[in-house]
């Protein structure tokens, strides 16, 4: 039935301080309809810590499972280092990532392997839409649209999203290297930019991943460490500045305007209007139509939130 299962998929789950979440993540891999996978659990807890001991205790039940490889860091090195450890120890033709508090649809690997094998060899990444599950139990589906040669679009903003949504050919990492461990945040965005410079992306308009944000709020992915996101974006732009210079002036302005617009809106959405105004003003210097957002930021939180809710209710699109 599954004639293409000869291609091994290496699944990498970095885990840190969440031994209670691992069971659901691992089960969502073990229940996949695609059976030819290996699972690498990268324990990023400090050696001797309570979380390390709890994770080790939990993983004992998988000791005899030859498809699961449990690898321990001596000390916490961060998510990027954990993913890189997984990549270095992987054997698969494809690599997939799953955060320890997320889950996959049981058909994810089967559908993605078949999808990427059905297209030309210059495609390196398959990614899907996903559900966000909030503390209220509501589902919010994210639907990125960009596919094919998305490099220029990625310079404007991230069209791919979380690492849990992708299936990547292992040759991509041999070409561009691993995740940048020096970045304080947005390491996944940086990786998708680097891969998209050399490979095409294929998008599946089907939610195959459940991203959990329970008890942490809808904006947790950026809110708790949003200053790291600001710094990470600035570093990425600095890394890309010579490549951006190769575009004409109009495209350069579009890229910087889009990036500063994103940072400005993020700050305002999280209540930091002082910093939001700074970034929106920088965005305005590249693109005048962002004046509206700057004016809303100047007017303060009540006006900003009123307009934001209005936009959401009537599905109005502004930059």
Averaged pLDDT for residues 245-262: 94
Higher pLDDT, 136 or 62: 62
Q: Are 12 and 104 in contact (CB under 8 A)?
A: no
What's the whole-model pTM score?
A: 0.87
Quick check: 83 pLDDT over 80?
yes
Residue 299 and residue 293: Cα distance in Å, rounded?
Answer: 10
pLDDT tens-digit map of 42-66:
999 999 999 999 999 999 999 999 9
Please name the helix (run of DSSP H) or strand (run of DSSP E) that holds residue 65, with its range, or none: none
What pLDDT, on the 0 to 100 scale, is given for residue 143? 61
For residue 98, the Cα-to-chain-centroid distance in whole angstroms is 10
- Asked if the 9-213 domain carries CATH number 3.20.20.10, the reply is no
Q: Of 62-76, 187-201, 215-229, 266-280, give the lowest mean pLDDT range.
A: 215-229
pLDDT band at 306 (very low <50, low <70, confident <90, very high): low
Q: What is the pLDDT of residues 254-288, one digit of tens each?
A: 999 999 999 998 998 888 988 988 898 888 776 65
Residue 138 has pLDDT above 90, yes or no: no
> Cα separation of 292 and 288, whole Å?
9
Confidence of residue 226 (pLDDT cuts 50, 70, 90): confident
% of the chain beyond a pLDDT of 90 = 71
pLDDT-derived band of residue 218, with 50, 70 and 90 as boundaries? Answer: very low
What pLDDT, on the 0 to 100 scale, is given for residue 186? 96
Domain spans of the chain, in order of start: 9-213, 247-314
Separation between Cα atoms, residue 3 and residue 6, nearest integer Å: 7
| Average pLDDT of span 64-93 | 98
Q: Which two tokens stand for residue 167?
A: 């299936």
Average pLDDT over residues 105-119: 97
pLDDT of residue 213: 80
Nearest to 97 by CA among 164, 24, 185: 164
As a whole number, mean pLDDT of residues 149-166 equals 96
Q: Are 148 and 201 in contact (CB under 8 A)?
A: yes
């Amino acid at each position: 039935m599954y004639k293409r299962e000869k291609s091994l998929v290496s699944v990498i789950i970095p885990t840190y301080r969440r031994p209670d979440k691992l069971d659901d993540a691992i089960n969502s891999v073990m229940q996949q309809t695609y059976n030819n996978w290996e699972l690498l659990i990268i324990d990023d807890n400090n050696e001797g810590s309570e979380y390390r001991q709890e994770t080790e205790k939990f993983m004992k039940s998988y000791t005899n499972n030859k498809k699961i490889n449990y690898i321990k860091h001596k000390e916490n090195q961060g998510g990027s280092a954990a993913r890189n450890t997984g990549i270095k120890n992987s054997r698969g033709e494809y690599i997939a990532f799953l955060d320890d508090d997320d889950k996959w649809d049981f058909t994810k690997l089967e559908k993605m392997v078949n999808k990427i094998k059905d297209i030309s060899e210059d495609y390196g990444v398959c990614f899907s839409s996903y559900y966000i599950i909030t503390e209220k139990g509501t589902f919010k589906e994210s639907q990125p649209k960009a596919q094919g040669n998305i490099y220029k679009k990625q310079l404007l903003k991230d069209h791919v999203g979380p690492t849990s949504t992708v299936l990547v050919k292992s040759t991509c990492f041999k070409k561009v290297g691993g995740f940048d461990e020096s970045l304080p945040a947005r390491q996944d965005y940086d990786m998708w930019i680097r891969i998209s410079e050399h490979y095409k992306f294929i998008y599946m308009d089907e939610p195959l991943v459940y991203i959990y944000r329970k008890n942490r709020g809808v904006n947790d992915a950026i809110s708790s460490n949003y200053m790291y996101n600001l710094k990470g974006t600035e570093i990425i732009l600095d890394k890309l500045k010579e490549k951006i210079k190769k575009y004409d002036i109009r495209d350069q302005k579009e890229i910087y305007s889009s990036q500063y617009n994103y940072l400005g809106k993020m700050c305002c959405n999280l209540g930091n209007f002082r910093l939001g105004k700074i970034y929106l003003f920088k965005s305005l210097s590249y693109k005048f139509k962002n004046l509206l957002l700057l004016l809303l930021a100047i007017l303060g939180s009540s006006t900003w939130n009123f307009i934001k809710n209005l936009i959401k209710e009537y599905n109005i699109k502004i930059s």
